[in-house]
Amino acid sequence: QALSIARGGTGGTTAQSARLSLGMFVDTNDEVVFGPRAISLYDGLILDHTNAIDPGYTKVGTGHYEVRKVPGFGLFGFKYRLPKDDLGNLLCGCVITFSDDVATVKVYEITYTNGKAELDLTKPMDIPAQRCIDISVK
């Protein structure tokens, strides 16, 4: 006999609420990932996958984004996933810094030298269309 969602230990009573409780979502590279607090930053949009923080968002300039209401991201550690092409090559790179409850995300072009990816800090770029940078607290 199958275990009901309500008895699954997540606190959720529907499949969607159970998934949100687990912090499970599909990232920019179509992989299932987990994170207690996770956001996806697109060039013109931000999504909060766990409905835990309701972040604010500003695009400051080319490849420069500020995400507000992210307390704890800089204190407790974080991880992020960058978009890749079908061959696994990075489409962009980024540098993320924190100040109070604001995360500053700066996106740059990636250059490949002898198969090694390098961040080119002289070439800011917007997050590629239809792709995002996923950020989650560890």
Helix (H, G, I), strand (E, B) or coil at 79: strand
Q: How deeply is 101 buried, as exposed, middle or buried, from its count of CB atoms within 10 A (0-12, 13-18, 19+)? A: middle
Residue-wise pLDDT for 87-123, tens only, equals 989 999 999 988 877 889 999 999 988 989 899 999 9
Residue-wise pLDDT for 30-70, tens only, equals 777 666 677 889 998 888 776 666 678 899 999 999 988 76
Q: What is the pLDDT of residue 22?
A: 56
Other CB atoms within 10 Å distance of the CB of residue 97: 10
**Pairing mode, if any, of strands 32-34 and 24-26?**
antiparallel
Examine the pLDDT at 11 and tell me if it is beyond 90: no
Residue 110 and residue 60: Cα distance in Å, rounded? Answer: 21
Q: Which residue spans within the chain are E strands per DSSP?
A: 24-26, 32-34, 38-41, 46-48, 56-61, 64-68, 78-81, 93-99, 102-113, 116-124, 133-137
Other CB atoms within 10 Å distance of the CB of residue 23: 17
Indicate yes or no: pTM above 0.85: no
